[in-house]
Amino acid sequence: MSLQPIQQVSFQLPNGAEVTIETGKLARQADGAVTVRQGNCIILATVVANKEPKAGQSFFPLSVDYQEKFASAGRIPGSFFKREARLNDYEILTSRLVDRALRPLFPEDYLCDVQVLITLISSDKEVMPDALTCLAASAALAVSDIPIKEIISEVRVGKINGEFIVNPTRTELENADMDFIVAATDKNLMMVEGESKECSEEDLVKVLEIAHNAIRVQIAAQQQLRDKVGITAKREYTKPYTNEALEQKIISLAKDKMYAI
C-alpha cells in the first residue's frame, strides 16, 4: 500500500452510536488496512494478496483470521512464554462469518493467495466486535487494489423487548429474543446466521430489511473512504487458461442431462 495521508469517515448506527473507519495510520505496508472504532472498541483489518497465483493452483486460497489480543483488555497472556494462544472457538467462528460473506465476491478466475487479518486491539465491554469485523475487512479491501466485485458489510440485529436493534450492546443481548447476523452488498443478501426463541416469518423479514438498510449506510461510508484514498481501479491479474470451445461443447452435451436427473 502506497503511503497515503490519514483518511477517515464516520457514520451513525440507528441507535445513535458513532462508528469511525480510518486508514493510512497503521499497517501501511499492507495492500489495504483500516481501523474501525465504536466506543472503546477498535478493530484493525489488513489485507495482502500475491501478485501472481502459484503454479498449478486450481482453487482460490482465501485466508481469514480474526484474533482478540489480550492487550486489547490491558492484559498479558498468562502462559510461560507470555504469547497469544491459538484461535479459540469464538474467534474461528467469527473468522468464518467474514469468510462466507467475502468469498463469493472475488472473481471466479482469481486464484492469487489473499490473507485477511482482523485483530481486536482495544475492547469495549458493551460493544460486540464480531458485528464490526466484516465491515473492517471489506473496508480494507475497498482501499486496496485487490480485485473484489462489490463492497459488503455485516450487522447484528437483535429483538429486545419487542424492539429491533442494530448492533445491540452486550447487556441488551442478554434479553434478546432474536439474535441474527446479516451480511449483504448494496443489492443482495449474502449470508444470514442467527438464533431465536421463536421466529415468525414476519419478524425474520423485518430483521433482514432493517439489517440491509443499516448495511447500505456502511457501504456508502466505505465508498466515501475509497474515494478519499483515491482508489479508482483494481489490479490486473493472471487468469487461468480455459478452453472455451471445449467448455461450451461439454455444456451443450451434459447440461440438460444433468438438470434432468
User: Can you list the domains of the chain with their CATH numbers?
Assistant: 7-148+214-260 (3.30.230.70)
Dihedrals φ, ψ of 43, to 5°? -120, 130
Q: Compute the distance between CA of residue 118 and CA of residue 135 in angstroms, rounded to an integer.
A: 10
Q: Compute the distance between CA of residue 190 and CA of residue 95 in angstroms, rounded to an integer.
A: 15
Residue 1: pLDDT band with limits 50, 70, 90? very low
The closest of 13, 19, 12 to 36, measured between CA atoms, is: 19
Give the cell for residue 197.
426463541
3-state secondary structure of 48: strand
Task: Report the chain's mean pLDDT, rounded to a whole number.
Answer: 88
118 within 8 A of 99, measured Cβ to Cβ: no
Give the cell for residue 258.
444433468
Which regions of the chain does DSSP assign to beta strands (E)? 7-12, 18-23, 32-38, 41-49, 62-68, 114-122, 153-160, 163-166, 176-184, 189-196
pLDDT tens readout for residues 16-30: 889 999 998 898 888
pLDDT tens readout for residues 214-236: 999 999 999 999 999 888 888 88
